[in-house]
Structure 1
Amino acid sequence: MSAETDRAPQAPPGDLRERAAAALTAARVRTAGLTDPVTDADLTAQHSPLMSPLVWDLAHIGNQEELWLLRRVAGREPLLPGIDPLYDAFAHPRAERPALPLLGPAEARGYSARVRDRVFDLLERTPFEGSALLDDGFAFGMIAQHEQQHDETMLITHQLRPGSPVLTAPEPEPPSGPPPPAAEVLVPGGPFTMGTSTEPWALDNERPAHTRDTGPFWIDTVPVTNARFRAFMADGGYGEARWWAAEGWEQIRRHGIEAPLFWYREAGQWLRRRFGVVEPVPDDEPVLHVSWYEADAYARWAGRRLPTEAEWEKAARHDPAAGRSTRYPWGDADPTPAHANLGQRHLRPAAAGSYPAGASALGVRQLIGDVWEWTSSDFLPYPGFRAFPYREYSEVFFGPEHKVLRGGSFAVDPVACRGTFRNWDLPVRRQIFAGFRTARDI
């Protein structure tokens, strides 16, 4: 273990029990905000074969909470015997879920509310010690993160849902302070601490902390914007096979892809549909809804490349002056609205260059929030990885089929977003709230 790893920061002080209660409450408020504004028909409809009906997510949230907290922690009997197979994410592909005998909207809400009432009773008297599941309230933190992850999934379903807007949020504030001084930042070579062994609610794929070594590299100060991506499009980027990985080229040819998802051209102008609103594509916003293949093709066209996962985390967490990795780019303090665009506070990314208070020690901005960022890396375990508390969270996805995304998006809640947090998806995925930034070697 390196000296830097020895100095890896501890989680912030405070009452973890209060933190768990607040996280569970915030998640349920958000779940209601995503399910209450739509009709029962909207809740039970499948708006895309890529996504579950919203009512499935609603009951699945309650079922997982019951499985892990009421049954696994408290040893109680099932509230609704027989429903587990309906809400097992591995038992039924999303496209098949509408045909299942699912709980209706009122039943799903009632079931999840009954579970939550019992969970709050349990939270008051459960010791936060004695097992890996209970230490530091991990099981409660895991469930809060799980619900927020499904809230992000439901927000994606809202984006895919046809019809009039039902969600509202204020617009992000314009960038404050001076713009970034340069388009790219030099990240020095050498070792740094990647991952964590001290964050109490970190998930298994973030663990353990270990030393990585990178060479020096340049990385974009901000994510790639719509204007920069349109330059790639205008230069024929979608029509030049030389920029594309073979599988990506075959994908865009087969599906006739010529722009990011939800974009279309009308009267000489690029427009997009965003949560039911049609609007001009804003130049200064990070590009959104692009696949890994599109991000990789842009990077090649620009004479650059996608950063590796290790490079991304080094740019986000390594503080050369302090000689250690921080919890977030700006330090060890939890995120505030001044640091990052998180938690569905807005329904879009903020303009590139926003949140100077959230910049890393090296001056890289918007590494947390706004858009998930594709990296060049396959989703693989860290040295010393141990599946916990179940293999299906991470281990079954390891391999070259999935690419790593980092940093979260405007749709991610802070409880499920850290400098060490790892997301992954298939490189063809475009409905997720993903963009990217590029890097280059010295």
Structure 2
Amino acid sequence: MPGQTAAPSTDLLFLLAETRERTLALVAHLDDAAVESVHSALMSPLVWDLGHIAAFEDLWAVHRFGGEPLLRPDLAQVYDAFETPRADRGTLPFLRRREALAYLEAVRERTLAAVARRGLGDGLLHELVLRHEQQHGETMLQAIELARLPLPPRAAEREERSAGAAAPGAGGLELIEIAAGPCAIGRDRADGFSYDNERPRHLRELPAFRIGRTPITNATFLTFVEGGGYERREWWSREAWAWKEEYDIERPAGWTADGREWRAGRLEPLHPDRPVVHVSWFEADAFARAHGARLPTEFEWEKAATWDQEIGAAAGDEALAAATGNVDWRTFGTVPVGAAGAPAPSGCLGMVGDTWEWTAGRFDGYPGFVAEPYREYSEVFFGDDGYRVLRGGSWATRARVATPTFRNWDHPQRRQIFAGFRIAKDV
């Protein structure tokens, strides 16, 4: 699948440098207070992410791979993402901006020195380091948007070039039927880099189902809001209704009562053809119920994203790459549905890119799961009924990460993610 194979050394080193340049660009225009402050209990201070990126690289690319002692063992606890929940990170003795930048630079010098001594081996640990930093770029963009901080100066230029027409009839209520039958789910290490929760690749027998040709758009969701969608108790689960009432939720995060949304560093009128974003799983589920539908399972979602119904098998890398849409911060926001990327082999649009998509599934391991290279990436989150799976990536996801088999997960009430959804129905 596109973007999965570990790169040769020159390419991988270039990508590490390119990714670091992008990471630093996210904060270069912000003052120290903006970078070092806690803007929300849902997110880390931006400077914590910088120090964590450095600590993770030092652990895996220098200590575990290169055999060197950690540069700053005293910081291991501070930057342990599992042991330090986001809500607690503002109280930690994390490095301030100047120190964090120096730490990033020093660790990168150690990484390059280790590569000069030992090469890259199979490249998998360095690929892990690369993708880890790329994923934190998206997390930092979430924090920047949640805090309504300005985006990098060039973001406006990219956003202006994002104009494109939506696919005809796009709104999210048009459904495509996917035939019953087996589908290969996941990705094996033999096929290139994959995360442990994507493995092992295995067959799933799925009944026929119908799934949205596109994600639900702003216009379609606005109709739900204006039609009393947040007031009709029968469309909400007990847990969802309690959450909505406690926090007085009336519309997607970032929307205003006068029909605008926070986008690309500013408030602007809702674009009717762009996918709705910053909705929780609870809101997505309520919308689906209101339309006599449901959210797709993650296996239905993956089949719709990868399965070529004409040949009865998963599509090839070229077709999947062509179907990858708005990713890589190309626009610093969503685009009209269907305006980026070719259709998936199933005929669905916008499966990869623009917005993450909530699925019905709870996060767990596939049959035969083995934790690698550490339990805290996936396994410690299994079995918690609170985590729902998201698929597909967003405009803020790097192309190397945004693949049809990648699994993201979060609590059903979370709205800081660049997440929307599409609906499904039984046949």
Return the match for 2:244 from 241, 252, 274.
Answer: 252
Report what 2:224 is aligned to.
232
Return closer, same or farther for 1:11/1:125 CA change in 2, 3 Å cut-off. Answer: farther
Return the match for 1:435 from 415, 420, 423.
Answer: 420
Check conservation: 2:134, 2:397, Cα contact below 8 A: yes
Check conservation: 1:47, 1:162, Cα contact below 8 A: no
Code of the residue aligned with 2:336 in structure 1: it is A
Report what 1:24 is aligned to.
16
What TM-score results when the alignment is normalised by the length of structure 1?
A: 0.90
Q: Are 2:368 and 1:377 aligned?
A: no
Q: Are 2:128 and 1:142 aligned?
A: yes
Return the match for 1:312 from 284, 288, 301.
Answer: 301
Q: Are 2:379 and 1:395 aligned?
A: yes
Q: Are 2:36 and 1:44 aligned?
A: yes
Q: Are 2:110 and 1:122 aligned?
A: no
Return closer, same or farther for 1:233/1:195 CA change in 2, 3 Å cut-off. Answer: same
Report what 1:416 is aligned to.
401
Report what 1:363 is aligned to.
347
SS of the equivalent of 1:48 reads coil
Return the match for 2:138 from 142, 152, 155.
Answer: 152
Return closer, same or farther for 1:278/1:97 CA change in 2, 3 Å cut-off. Answer: same
CA displacement, residues 264-318 of structure 1 (integer Å, 9 cap, x when unaligned): 113xxx1122243011111111000000000000001011111000000000011
Check conservation: 1:11, 1:200, Cα contact below 8 A: no
Map 1:3-22; keep pairs closer than 5 Å.
15-22=7-14
CA displacement, residues 350-390 of structure 1 (integer Å, 9 cap, x when unaligned): 101212x4211121110000000000010111011100000
Shift of 1:183: 2.4
Percent of aligned pairs sharing the same letter: 41
Map 1:260-409; keep pairs closer than 5 Å.
260-266=252-258, 270-326=259-315, 331=319, 333=321, 339-355=324-340, 357-399=341-383, 400-409=385-394
Using the alignment, how far apart are the partners of 1:141 and 1:147 within structure 2?
10
Using the alignment, how far apart are the partners of 2:114 and 2:52 within structure 1?
20
Return closer, same or farther for 1:176/1:430 CA change in 2, 3 Å cut-off. Answer: closer
Code of the residue aligned with 2:288 in structure 1: it is A
Using the alignment, how far apart are the partners of 1:199 and 1:160 within structure 2?
37
Check conservation: 2:199, 2:366, Cα contact below 8 A: yes
CA displacement, residues 223-278 of structure 1 (integer Å, 9 cap, x when unaligned): 00011001111111100111011100000011110000111113xxx112224301
Q: Are 2:164 and 1:174 aligned?
A: yes
Shift of 1:165: 5.2
- Name the count of aligned residue pairs: 420
Code of the residue aligned with 2:251 in structure 1: it is A
Using the alignment, how far apart are the partners of 2:356 and 2:117 within structure 1?
37
Code of the residue aligned with 2:271 in structure 1: it is P
Check conservation: 2:120, 2:126, Cα contact below 8 A: no
> What 5-or-longer segments of structure 2 have no aligned partner?
none
Shift of 1:178: 6.4
Using the alignment, how far apart are the partners of 1:150 and 1:339 within structure 2?
20
> What 5-or-longer segments of structure 1 have no aligned partner?
1-8, 130-134
Using the alignment, how far apart are the partners of 2:4 and 2:416 within structure 1?
34
SS of the equivalent of 1:35 reads coil
What TM-score results when the alignment is normalised by the length of structure 2?
A: 0.93
SS of the equivalent of 2:262 reads strand
Return closer, same or farther for 1:101/1:280 CA change in 2, 3 Å cut-off. Answer: same
CA displacement, residues 41-64 of structure 1 (integer Å, 9 cap, x when unaligned): 111101111111111000100000
Code of the residue aligned with 2:233 in structure 1: it is A
Map 1:51-62; keep pairs closer than 5 Å.
51-62=43-54
RMSD of aligned residue pairs (Cα, Å): 2.2
Using the alignment, how far apart are the partners of 1:10 and 1:340 within structure 2?
12
Return closer, same or farther for 1:177/1:218 CA change in 2, 3 Å cut-off. Answer: closer
Using the alignment, how far apart are the partners of 2:248 and 2:315 within structure 1?
43
Check conservation: 2:3, 2:400, Cα contact below 8 A: no
Shift of 1:11: 7.7
Check conservation: 1:10, 1:199, Cα contact below 8 A: no
Shift of 1:92: 2.0
Map 1:201-220; keep pairs closer than 5 Å.
201-220=193-212
SS of the equivalent of 1:287 reads coil
Shift of 1:24: 1.4
Code of the residue aligned with 2:136 in structure 1: it is H
Check conservation: 2:327, 2:399, Cα contact below 8 A: yes
